Amino acid sequence: MEQRNPTLRSVAWLWFGIAIAVLVVGFRQAIFLTPADAAQGDVGRIFYYHVPSAMWSLVFPYVNFIASLFYLYWRKRDPLKALTADAMAIAAAEVSVVYSSICLITGSIWGRAAWGIWWTWDERLTSELLLFLLYVSYLMLRRFSSTGQAQTLAAVISIFAAIDVPIVWMSIRWWRTQHPAPVFFGGPDAGLDKSMMPAFVWNIIGWGIWGIFILIFRFALERRRQLAEQEAALQAIEASLEIPQ
Amino acid sequence: MNYLRHVLDHLRKDLRLEWRSRDSINGMLFFALLVVVVFGLAFDPTSYPTTTRQISGGILWVALLFASITALNQSWARELRNQVLEAQRMAPSPASALFLGKAIANMLFVLIVEAVLAPIFIVFFNLHALGNVWLLALILPLGTWALVVNGTFFAALGLRARNRELLLPLLLLPISLPALLAMVQATTGVLTADLDSIQIATWIKQLAGYDIIFTTICILLFETVLNAE
């Protein structure tokens, strides 16, 4: 087994501590300090959680896609590096599923309060749902494939998913929309009241730090599993080489 | 030219195999027919012609999608017998020729099923299309190719997986949802005449774009999948 590196461990604890601290500040800002939304009242506060998770759920799939590309590039050239890339890919896919689920659940709670319905087949809701479905099917593939090929097949599917996401987005945009226009970069009427800005910024940063923390944590876990597997394979080979007495 | 010859060889082999057993086409045809009958019983299409027009595009594509899923796995399972697939991997012809040949063969099978199913569908659902029916001659092949090209690819991808019968729809459905949306919208638009011709043209263009993009990716990545060990 790989020796546990004390420096890395303290960095990880420090990162974890920062994540919790920033999230606490973000919570205080979002729930206690920011005035209630003029139009929606306290219901609007869920946005401080919904929007950050939505934003980050669009970032982690890129990590998965890039890691999968590196995996395919290194697959034949440098298998050990390729395994590292694969560990990053699976970690990013799982974090994507977690963040997009949080986005869907918080969005649906808000939808119930504001629109009176839990769900509507609107542009952004459908796109986010499809993003969630694509990465769930990625994880399903990993679970179902036989051990030797799971990584390669998963990397291929990751490329399909990454190409599918913009197509989904475009085609559903064509189809219909009911979701409020994006708050950031959403055109002339978009934008936030200044009083809401701190809560948003703290929460976006906080959930970003937290997401990266669980990403790296899952990555380290997967690396450890891979190393243990290699060790076991090596021992099996050594045992088979021993001359029978 | 050489590449084309390899593709044609694979295509001829798949067609001959199918001609001798006719398993895929018969299975698909009966399955699609059953789906249409089940939906017909559920909705009573003859009493509500307007509703029927609105939903029958979706029903037709769902029937075809499920039917083609049943056949796509078989088309690769044939290659597993007697280690034919291992021989294919060692063959000097490009791997993507094998894929293209099989995808085109599957496409032809599904088109045959569509040609038989369409009249039955129209009779059972008492369907009078209000739009330009000839557009369906464009929408059906484009939509079929979108399903078949990805389906053939994912069937090859799940070939050695545990319960591969389940894996194929799990992969194919999420990836083809934009294509399904486009083909169902275009078909419904033709049947109900609710969409104007520009909107229908946009859906058809999207479908064509989807076909081109995913055909390219499938051809590029097939060798990786075939030799994924």
| pLDDT average, residue stretch A204-219 | 93
Length of chain B as a residue count: 229
Q: Radius of gyration over alpha carbons of chain A, in Å?
A: 22
Spatial distance between the Cα atoms of B79 and A213, rounded to a whole number of angstroms:
45
Choose, out of A130, A174, A175, A176, the residue to mutate when testing the contact with B (most B CBs < 10 Å). Answer: A174
Greatest mean pLDDT range, A222-236, B114-128, B151-165: A222-236
Q: Is residue B192 predicted with pLDDT exceeding 60? A: yes
Residue A217 belongs to a domain:
yes
Kindly report, residue by residue over A214-240, the tens digit of the pLDDT: 999 999 999 999 999 889 989 999 888
CB atoms within 10 A of CB A185: 8
Residue A47 belongs to a domain:
yes
* A37 beta partners: A41
Number of A–B residue contacts, CB under 8 Å: 88
| Distance from chain centroid for Cα A142 | 17
Greatest mean pLDDT range, A111-125, A150-164, A191-205: A150-164
A141 and chain B: CB distance < 8 Å anywhere? Answer: yes
- Nearest Cα residue to A22 out of B6, B221, A127, A14: A14
Domain count, chain A: 1
Binding-face residues of B in 124-183 toward A, CB within 8 A: 150, 157-158, 160-164, 166-167, 170-171, 173-175, 177-178, 181-182
Which residues, in sequence order, are CB contacts of B221 under 8 Å at separation 6+?
A: A156, A159, B153
Residue A245 belongs to a domain:
no
Residue A55 belongs to a domain:
yes
A37 and chain B: CB distance < 8 Å anywhere? Answer: no
A129 and chain B: CB distance < 8 Å anywhere? Answer: no
A165 and chain B: CB distance < 8 Å anywhere? Answer: no
Structural domain of residue A138, as residue ranges? Answer: 22-181+196-239
- Tell me the DSSP string of A33-90: ISPPBTTTBGGGGGHHHHHHHHHHHTTHHHHHHHHHHHHHHHHHH-HHHHHHHHHHHH
Kindly report, residue by residue over A8-25, the tens digit of the pLDDT: 888 889 999 999 999 999
B226 to chain A: closest CA residue? A153
ipTM for this model: 0.85
The whole model's pTM is what? 0.86
A176 and chain B: CB distance < 8 Å anywhere? Answer: no
Angle, helices B23-43 vs B49-80, to 10°: value is 150
Binding-face residues of B in 193-222 toward A, CB within 8 A: 202, 206, 209-210, 213-214, 217, 221
Q: For residues B218 and B153, is the Cβ–Cβ distance under 8 A?
A: yes
Which helix (H) or strand (E) segment is A130 a member of? helix A123-144
Residue A206 belongs to a domain:
yes
Spatial distance between the Cα atoms of A199 and A19, rounded to a whole number of angstroms:
15
CB contact (8 A) between residue A130 and residue B174: yes
Residue A153 belongs to a domain:
yes
Greatest mean pLDDT range, A187-196, B44-53, B60-69: B60-69
pLDDT for res A3: 58
Closest partner residue to A159 (CB to CB) among B150, B206, B221 is B221
CB contact (8 A) between residue B202 and residue A174: yes
A82 and chain B: CB distance < 8 Å anywhere? Answer: no
| pLDDT average, residue stretch B114-132 | 85
